[in-house]
Homo-oligomer: A and B are copies of this chain.
Amino acid sequence: MLTEERHQLIRDRLAADGKVLAGELASRFGVSEDTVRRDLRELAKAGQLRRVYGGAVTSAPFAAATLSQRSRHAVEEKTRLARAAVGLLSAGQSLFIDGGTTNEAIARALPRDIQLTVATNSLGVASALTDLPLVELIVLGGRYVPDLGTCVGSDTLAAVAQLGADLFFLGSCGLDAARGVTAFDSAEAEVKRAMAKNSAGIVIAVTNDKLATAAPYRVAGADAIRHLVVEKTAPPVTLAAFQSQGAQVHFA
């Protein structure tokens, strides 16, 4: 049994069950618990899972936290990212903006005098845009998921399908040069895919803690990213991997 083989099986099992037990994996793989622990440590270091006493759980840095707690996290960083992301816009453009606290920060950072057409499935983004006089706002309805703060489901997909946008501000849950953009939720990923399909370019603004992490559901490949907005302290190695796939990197 190869080390890499075990790693893959651990990832699979984690995606399926949401958790793994060190002892159980050891007997299943026929190796010592020490080896399994080493595996788990490495995968945790790569951000592919979260290590807990007795095993590991899915690497949802914030999946456990509620929306209100998430928005408190790294407020200044997200505001800086938001200002940089807004700089990518020009008047008259049409945008998709999906959920996530970073995207809400972007919505709040928009200047009052810019003319845009924005379609969003995030109530937070929508609320932030209601005050802007020159923004034509299209709300993408559907089943509302409190944990995400967004609408998902077939209604949302149908609404997205009728629209097109110049840019898609993708609220990324996980971002990895090899695995691309990934999401924690199947329905959420579906909506993101639909938005990506109907937009000319994808913009992703992320804090460092989301770089080089991945979630179960794939949204798009890294080569689909046109603009990547990151913190100044983002590891250059990681960024280079995205740049080589065509992404323009912007520092906040």
Contact = CB atoms under 8 A, between A and B. Distances in A.
A130 interface: yes
A159 interface: yes
A204 interface: no
A4 interface: yes
Contacts of A69: 47-48
Given A2-B57, A162-B155, A143 B149 contact: no
Interface stretch (A132-140, A178-186, A223-231): A132-140
Interface residues of A, number: 50
A2 B55 contact: yes
Given A3-B54, A4-B57, A53-B2, A130 B151 contact: no
Interface in A102-156: 121, 123, 126-127, 129-131, 133, 136-144, 146, 149, 151, 155-156
22 contacts: A2-B54, A2-B57, A3-B52, A7-B64, A48-B65, A48-B66, A66-B127, A67-B127, A67-B130, A123-B127, A123-B139, A127-B127, A130-B144, A130-B146, A136-B143, A136-B144, A138-B141, A138-B144, A138-B155, A139-B151, A141-B141, A141-B155
Given A4-B50, A121-B141, A139-B142, 10 more contacts: A2-B57, A4-B57, A8-B64, A130-B149, A138-B143, A138-B144, A138-B155, A139-B141, A141-B151, A141-B155
